[in-house]
Amino acid sequence: MKTLKEVKIGKTAVVKKLHGEGAVKRRIMDMGITKGATILVRKVAPLGDPIELRVRGYELSIRKDDAGMVEVE
């Protein structure tokens, strides 16, 4: 299982599954990170947190903990 936080800068990935429960999972889905979405990892902050992504045509920053709940391929 590969997660979103393991994707290298400049690479794209497709969401396969979301882990987590309740409000956390809902928040991730509300940001546009849903099954089948293509995500480009644009930047990672100097200390590794947060990660800047391009999802569905807009820029998004997500915490590394949340990115670890997104299974990608």
pLDDT of residue 48: 80
Q: Indicate the domain borders of the chain.
A: 2-72
pLDDT tens digits, one per residue of 33-71: 999 999 999 999 998 889 999 999 999 999 999 999 999
pLDDT tens digits, one per residue of 22-34: 898 999 999 999 9
Read off the tokens for 47: 């200390």
> For 2-72, which CATH class?
mainly beta
In three state form, how does the secondary structure of the chain look? CEEHHHCCCCCEEEEEEECCCHHHHHHHHHCCCCCCCEEEEEEECCCCCCEEEEECCEEEEECHHHHCCEEEC
pLDDT confidence of 20, banded at 50, 70, 90? confident
